[in-house]
Amino acid sequence: MGSSITYWAALTAAKQTLTAADQDPSAAQFLWQETQNWTFTQLVQHYRELVPATQLATYQQQVARVAQGEPAQYVLGHAPFYGREFRVTAATLIPRQETEELVEWILTTTVKTPQTVLDVGTGSGAIAVTLKAERPQWQVIGTDISPAAVTVAQQNALRLAPQVKVVSGDLFAPVVGQHFDLIVSNPPYIDHTELAAMDESVKRYEPQTALFAADHGLAFYRRFAANLPTYLTPHGTFFAELGYQQGTAVRAIFEAALPKAQVTIRQDLSGHDRMVRVQLTE
């Protein structure tokens, strides 16, 4: 049964609702495109059509939740990453563009021959699953300290890259005794003192253990620096995301712990320090 409201009218009303609630009005378009699996062009092509009544009711409920501050990706239960849709829940971070840039850096600088890969703190499995889907010959394992996150990652792996193994445990605990050509992580790196300045929806809805780290957000980089020689192969490589103000400190941590390694800090598309690569040399 159809409503008397067009997609355009529903979209316009949703933008007004979100703006009035001091939320990003672009979420109104995102919700339509994601629920309908439409490109923006396809959405425009449907503008003048009437929205089915049940579909309109669902959309308005989704908009109401976003107006309350809940991220649209959690409302939908999935989020796009590197051309694929990943299930996300409150147990996992929402995949972001900066992490896509990290994956792109790995794919464009790492040889395509078989690699053993470990993704530490895999969350939704976005990095691990994407690397396996893009490089089927690689052997990929993901770990996460959160059993709930592991469940989500396993579901995403089953649908998008079934050979990915996901296990629960802190940092390297699940892979003791194993060695990897490539280790990657998007670890917790936010300083607790930054809490006041953070987006309210991130603070209220995204998992705190995946966001914050001790020692001004640097604790996990110190743990990685201490453990890389044990878990990387002799010429192995470590990639990680970092906070935009942490480039200098992270470089110093890895250069002090691994004086023979080549440490590279890379900026994101916004020009901020965002990624680190540590290349071991004999």
Residue 187 marked as a ligand binder: yes
Give the confidence band of 89 by pLDDT, cuts at 50, 70, 90: very high
Work out the pLDDT band at 244, boundaries 50, 70, 90.
confident
121 is in an annotated binding site: yes
Checking phi first, is residue 117 left (phi over 0); if not, alpha (psi -120 to 50) or beta?
Answer: beta
Task: Report the pLDDT averaged over residues 210-231.
Answer: 77
What is the rounded average pLDDT for all residues in the chain? Answer: 90
Q: Give pairs for 244-250: CB < 8 Å, separation 24+.
A: 244/268, 244/272, 244/273, 244/274, 245/273, 246/189, 246/217, 246/218, 246/221, 246/273, 247/273, 247/276, 248/273, 249/216, 249/218, 250/218, 250/221, 250/276
Q: Is 188 annotated as a binding residue?
A: yes
Mean pLDDT of 233-248: 91
Taking 80 as the threshold, does the pLDDT of residue 241 lie above it? yes
Give the distance from CA 150 to its chain's centroid: 14
Overall average pLDDT of the 155-171 stretch: 97
pTM reported for the whole predicted model: 0.89
CB 276 within 8 A of CB 240: yes
Who wins on pLDDT, 115 or 3?
Answer: 115
Q: State residue 213's pLDDT score.
A: 47
Is 156 annotated as a binding-site member? no
- The annotation status of 95 as a binding-site residue, yes or no, is no
Residue 207 marked as a ligand binder: no
What is the rounded average pLDDT of the residues 136-146? 96
In order of their start, the domains of the chain are: 2-76 (1.10.8), 90-279 (3.40.50.150)
Question: Is 227 one of the annotated binding-site residues?
Answer: no
In this prediction, residue 129 carries a pLDDT of 98
Please, which pLDDT band fits residue 195 given cuts at 50, 70 and 90?
low
Q: Is 124 annotated as a binding residue?
A: yes
